[in-house]
Amino acid sequence: MLRIEGLFLELDGRPILGGLDLEVAAGEIHALLGANGTGKSTLAYTVMGLAGYRPQRGRIYFAGQDITDRSVTERARLGLTLAWQQPASFEGLTIKEYLEIARQGEGTSPAIAECLELVGLPPASYLHRTLNEHLSGGERKRVELAAVLAMAPKLAILDEPDSGIDVLSLEDIMEVIRRMNRAGTTVLLITHREEFARAAHRASHLCAGRVLKAGEPEEVVRFYKENCKRCDHVNEPELERLEEQR
């Protein structure tokens, strides 16, 4: 479904993706596991083709086509969707309207009310609410997940789908992901949490802009734990933890 070869991207003259290879098979939930700052969101934006994220080298293949030079609109039309770590806002639309737009043209996706229920938003209270500043970050994020469910894209890139959502457990969120997967969506689940990686079918480990290991989730999680402790790219929380152990 997705094949990335030798992806290299600099931002502000700094290499962020350093020759990244990644393969996501059709039908799977594939976790991309990596510590903070390793380039996970950057990869998501680059695959989606957002402005400012044009790779200097490497190719991206999606559903058999080379999409490296395609626009974000073309990628979306081919069936590629990104749910953001920081959700975008669509001010002014009601949630019902927003989900109806997302659901257009798809036969296999759940009904709008079911999409809302699956993300823990009672349809009766939410369908007619407007997307505006009165929604909390977590509610926005759940509406966005509902939109991905409604859309049933070929491939959904979910960037830290649990971030900002404190009312749904990891298992609840996994259930939403499994539901979209059953409806035919391949999922690239971006996370720094090993519990998410364990719940995926396959996983890849990202470190400093490169995939260092891919395979069975357990193996990848073990590699992540062992590797990240010795890695030069340890993030601040990890550094603090290491200091405490001394």
Give the residues lining the site for ligand ADP (CB under 6 A): 11-12, 14, 16, 34, 36-42
- 76-115 residues near Mg ion, rule: CB under 5 A: 85
Do β-strands 80-83 and 155-159 pair in parallel, antiparallel, or remain unpaired?
A: parallel
Partner interacting with residue 39 (select from Mg ion, ligand ADP, none; CB below 5-8 Å by kind): ligand ADP
In this structure, what token pair is assigned to residue 85? Answer: 């770590």
37 or 184: CB nearest Mg ion: 37
Write out the binding residues for Mg ion, residues 132-151 only, by CB under 5 A. none
Provide, rounded to whole angstroms, the least separation between the CB of residue 126 and ligand ADP: 29
Identify which of residues 80 and 157 has a Cβ nearer to ligand ADP in the complex: 157
Total number of residues that touch Mg ion (CB under 5 A): 3
CA distance 50 to 163: 21
In this complex, which beta carbon is closest to ligand ADP, that of residue 27 or of residue 237? 237
The token pair at 45 is 């934006």
Residue 192's beta-bridge partner residues? none
Quote the least distance from Cβ 164 to Mg ion, whole Å: 12
CA 143 vs CA 35, 98, 116: distances in Å: 26, 9, 7
Listing DSSP states for 157-193 in one string gives EEESTTTT--SS-HHHHHHHHHHHHHTT-EEEEEES-
Q: Choose among Mg ion, ligand ADP, none what residue 16 binds, the Cβ cut-off being 5 to 8 Å by kind.
A: ligand ADP
41 is a site residue for Mg ion (CB under 5 A): yes
* CA proximity to 21, closest of 204, 233, 224, 219: 204
**In DSSP terms, which residues pair with 83 in a beta bridge?**
158
Tokens of 189: 């689940």
Q: Would you say 39 and 16 are in contact if contact means Cβ atoms under 8 Å apart?
A: yes
CB of 62 vs ligand ADP, minimal distance in Å: 20
Instruction: Say how far apart CA 76 and CA 192 lie, in whole Å.
Output: 26
Of these partners, Mg ion, ligand ADP, none, which one is at the site of residue 37 (CB under 5 to 8 Å by kind)? ligand ADP
Residue 11's binding partner, choosing from ligand ADP, Mg ion, none, with beta-carbon cut-off 5 to 8 A by kind?
ligand ADP
- Candidates 40-48, 111-119, 149-157, 179-187 — which segment interacts with Mg ion by CB under 5 A? 40-48
> DSSP characters for 40-91?
HHHHHHHHHT-TT---SEEEEEETTEE-TT--HHHHHHTTEEEE-SS----T
Which residue type sits at 101? I
By beta carbon distance, the residue nearest Mg ion is 41
Q: Minimal CA–CA distance to 177: which of 145, 135, 217? A: 145
Q: In the bound complex, what is the minimum distance in angstroms from residue 154's beta carbon to ligand ADP?
A: 23
Of 34 and 161, which has the nearer Cβ to ligand ADP? 34
Q: Choose among Mg ion, ligand ADP, none what residue 232 binds, the Cβ cut-off being 5 to 8 Å by kind.
A: none
Closest to Mg ion by CB, 142 or 192: 192
Contacting positions for Mg ion (CB under 5 A) = 40-41, 85
